[in-house]
Chains A and B, each alone.
Chain A
Amino acid sequence: MRKELKRAFTSPMFFLSALVFFLTLQGYALPVYLDNLAHEPLKFRESALTLSLGGIFFGGAILLQPFCSPTAHAVSQVDDLRSGIMRWSVLRSSVGSYVTRKALASFWAAAAAIGGAFAVHVIVWNLLALPYDPIAYPNHEVPFREDTLFFAWAPLAHALPIYLHIMLGLAFSAGVWSITALASAVWVPDKLLAVTIPACVYQLWSGGLSYYLFGVRLISPATLFNDGQTMDRVGEALLAYGVLLSLSLIVYYAGIKRRACYA
């Protein structure tokens, strides 16, 4: 496990994944900040909270997160298969222990890359812009709905609970997407597909495929890090991600077992 984690956290792909997600988050913050800097006096500029969350609420970070998550470590499954190291690893331990090792390392690497990139992004914008303080700067006020968690959390410690909640939401969902990538990589060992298939699943899920096929509306996959959160919605989203995680692990286990037996 230690070796796998070391491999995950020292790989250039881990840093690439974090860097791409960090840059994605700047897609909203940087142009708006520069525009504000040129045209608005300090007290009318957007707060650090808006700049930090804008890339998620209004930009494309949500769509790119499932692309970036598998890049951190899950794509290494393709290398394991192509080099033949997977078979030796399974021979020296067991299918179960290989799956556990790989899944945990991929989960933690994706969670750290995505969550870490968001944390750095928040720190940078809290240093550059004014921290969220609607009492001193009424212009900072973000109209969160009254029945949501963010409404209650916004006045606390410059909205620190919101940042923490979104960071954890991003990290957890990134971890789940990386397991989905492992499940696809073991059946179709192609790095490009391993990165793309989780994004496709995300797209079909958020596009409402289940509604058009079966008339069932699922909770949005972006619920854990998007606006309008309540305890019920968070619970539903965790359940949905839990189902996805379980399915992905089953498919991944079956793939590794099949390859170990018949490769």
Chain B
Amino acid sequence: MRKYLRSIRALVRGQISDWVHSPRTVIMILIIIILAYINGKSFEKTLADYSLTSHAGDALYIYLSRAFGNLLMISAYFLIMMSEIPRRIPAQLSMLMRTTRLKWLHAQILFCALIPLLMIGMLSLLSMALTFPYLTPGSGWSMMSSDPGVLYMPEFIPEFIRAISPLQANLLALAMLFAFWFTMVLVILLFSLAGKPNVGLIIYVSILMLALTLTWESFPPWLRAVIPTNYATLANISALFPGQELSTVPIVLLIYAAVDALLIGGMILIVKRMDMQFTRKDMAV
């Protein structure tokens, strides 16, 4: 087991090291950080405009449940950052020679799980660092206006979420966002392994762009219910299933788990049979 973990760790480290040196990764991370900065500043302004008292748990929930204010664009840029997995580098062949195909696949899947987690962690830290000076010490839910003159304000923390603790709510919001991004990355990995690296990318770009361009209000509700982006964040789920939000979340997470298991199963079958070759795709001349 120790030997297995050591080799997986070495493989993942190799992947990450190559990934962070890719121009796509560097540029897209920078853009995503700036988008999170804009969202953080805009949230600061909201807190000031409505004279809101916000605890750390409330602020983090608002960031996580709304995918840092820009689900579609951040997901699209994240997709571009992850567009080349497995990394097409000759080192992959050396890695394969020193390990087994299955271990190599495990490392790829672990890499796919680690990156969305790191991404969410980094964006949460950045957003919370920006909001920190405006937070009120305390636990439990807040987001109440301290100004009696404020007659209306948007519902930042919906009623159904106030029924659970901020920690539970944040974990749920984190799980939803992670599940969406992890599944997205797995789909790209599956198609890359199957020798069609652009298909996964095209599928997800289309999903994100359709969500952006189509006027969903004109479509029947059942059609809206099959759009993956509606299951990307807790805020989207609550908009789609009003009145049954908390009961829907576990079902959605289970469906994500089943889909991910199927994708991983497909990858195992492919990897056992595939002829592995890696030619560089995003190399800068």
Contacts and interface: CB of A to CB of B under 8 A. Distances in A.
Given A82-B285, A190-B282, A64 B38 contact: no
Interface in B70-92: 73, 77, 80, 83
B55 interface: no
Given A200-B77, A207-B38, A64 B212 contact: yes
B213 A32 contact: no
A218 to B, nearest CB: 13
A213 to B, nearest CB: 9
Contacts of A59: 212-215
A24 interface: yes
Most chain B CB atoms below 10 A, which of A32, A55, A192: A192
Contact of A58 (B24, B38, B83, B215): B215
B284 A188 contact: yes
A208 B218 CA distance: 31
A60 interface: yes
A26 to B, nearest CB: 8
B34 interface: yes
Interface in B200-216: 209-210, 212-215
Contacts of B282: 190, 192
A203 interface: yes
A212 B214 contact: no
B27 A197 contact: yes
A192 B25 CA distance: 12
Contact of A32 (B41, B83, B218): B218
A63 interface: yes
Contacts, number: 78
B284 A212 contact: no
Given A188-B23, A196-B80, A208 B38 contact: yes
Interface in A173-231: 188-190, 192-193, 196-197, 200, 203-204, 207-209, 212
B214 A31 contact: yes
B27 A204 contact: no
B212 A28 contact: no
B24 A193 contact: yes
A27 B214 contact: yes
Contacts of B50: none
Given A60-B209, A64-B213, A190 B284 contact: yes
Contacts of B23: 188, 190, 193
B31 interface: yes
Contacts of A63: 73, 212
Interface string B36-55: 01100110000000000000
A113 interface: no
B27 A203 contact: no
Given A192-B282, A203-B73, A32 B215 contact: yes
Interface string B212-235: 111100110000000000000000
24 contacts: A27-B210, A27-B212, A27-B215, A28-B213, A31-B214, A31-B215, A32-B218, A34-B218, A54-B215, A55-B213, A59-B215, A63-B73, A64-B213, A188-B27, A189-B285, A190-B23, A193-B80, A200-B27, A203-B35, A204-B34, A204-B35, A212-B37, A212-B38, A212-B42
Interface of B: 23-24, 27-28, 31, 34-35, 37-38, 41-42, 73, 77, 80, 83, 209-210, 212-215, 218-219, 282, 284-285
Interface of A: 24, 27-28, 31-32, 34-35, 54-55, 58-61, 63-64, 81-82, 188-190, 192-193, 196-197, 200, 203-204, 207-209, 212
